Amino acid sequence: MPPTLTLRAVNAGVYSLHLPDGAHVGNLKRVGAVWKFKAVGYDASGAVEPGGGPLTELHNTVFAQPDAAEVNVRLGPPLAGGR
């Protein structure tokens, strides 16, 4: 099964996470020595809802590094099982 989430480098301390259709579902942000997943959702008018979206229950998951394979194991598939 191909990865569900893709990482796109924004800068040295941030990667955005996207579904296969390109929808943005959050960011990995460097916080000190670790990387934290920050969930993002959007309301009906397109306004950002920090901590929201389909991965809201995984907000603040900690990673050692921005590794796409590990992100997919721990966070994806994002819409399976009712997420």
Task: Evaluate whether residue 40 is within a structural domain.
Answer: yes
Task: Evaluate whether residue 75 is within a structural domain.
Answer: yes
Q: Please report the pLDDT score of residue 2 as a whole number.
A: 56
Alpha helices in the chain (DSSP H): 68-75
Task: Evaluate whether residue 45 is within a structural domain.
Answer: yes
**Residue 34 tokens, joined:** 């670790």
Task: Evaluate whether residue 78 is within a structural domain.
Answer: yes
Write the pLDDT tens digit of every residue in 13-52. 999 999 999 999 999 999 999 999 999 999 999 999 999 9
> Quick count: other Cβ atoms within 10 Å of Cβ 55?
24
Indicate whether 1 pLDDT > 60.
no
> Quick count: other Cβ atoms within 10 Å of Cβ 31?
12
Number of domains present in the structure of the chain: 1
Q: Please report the pLDDT score of residue 77 as a whole number.
A: 62
For residue 46, the enclosing domain spans 6-82
Task: Evaluate whether residue 1 is within a structural domain.
Answer: no
**Of all residues in the chain, what percent carry a pLDDT higher than 70?**
88
Give the Cα separation of 75 and 55 in Å (integer).
7
